[in-house]
Amino acid sequence: MTEDQLYALLEQRGIAYETYHHEAVRTVAEADLLVPRLGIPTKNLFLRDDKKRQFFLVVAHEDTQVDLKHLHKQLGSRRLSFASAEMLADKLGLEQGSVTPFGIFNDAAHEVTLVFDERLAHQRFDAHPMVNTATMFIEMDDVLPLFEEQGNRVVFCDLTCQTGPAAQ
């Protein structure tokens, strides 16, 4: 899915969003300098288990310190580490610096679990619209049905403690 295809999908479904265009940003720190705070700022982690059999796209509040040693227990997976740029491109069709929950729409095999920080539930959050030269602001309650319809597992999780995920 491209940026334009994402906008078309959202418009077709009547989902409101706001987009702010800017210079390319590859980190949260860069985005903090250029992007207005019109929703909860997020960071995205593309992870894999130690056998490269399970993949997770974690969308966290930007200030969350995600503890990978505990996250794998919450998700019921083997130990987690960061997936390579090649795996990111293969599974989600994205480049480093452009990671976004909308990349899940490129996962035709439904191999990636989408994990949201529970602090994003029922909130307006930011995300790249498939490219890192724009930031989209969108309501979780509006877009969550699209993520669920994609067919991938979607969970909300307290990324700051060791409790289990709440399936959505």
| Residue extents of the structural domains in the chain | 3-167
- C-alpha of 15 from chain center: 18
Q: In 3D, which of 6, 99, 9 has the Cα closest to residue 46?
A: 99
pLDDT digits (tens, 9 = 90+) for 99-115: 999 999 999 999 999 99
Q: Name the band, by pLDDT with cuts 50, 70 and 90, for residue 161.
A: low
Q: Name the band, by pLDDT with cuts 50, 70 and 90, for residue 26.
A: confident
Q: In 3D, which of 109, 69, 65 has the Cα closest to residue 91?
A: 109
Above 90 in pLDDT, residue 158? no
Weakest-pLDDT range from 1-5, 17-21, 34-38: 34-38
Residue 120 contacts residue 61 (beta carbons within 8 Å): yes
pTM for the structure as a whole: 0.90
Task: Compute the distance between CA of residue 55 and CA of residue 38 in angstroms, rounded to an integer.
Answer: 30
Query: Of residues 163 and 63, which shows the higher confidence score?
Result: 63
CATH of 3-167, one of 3.90.960.10, 3.20.20.70, 3.90.1150.10, 3.40.190.170: 3.90.960.10
Report the pLDDT value the prediction gives residue 30, as an integer from 0 to 100. Answer: 87
Q: Name the band, by pLDDT with cuts 50, 70 and 90, for residue 165.
A: very low
Q: In 3D, which of 33, 22, 30, 29 has the Cα closest to residue 136?
A: 22
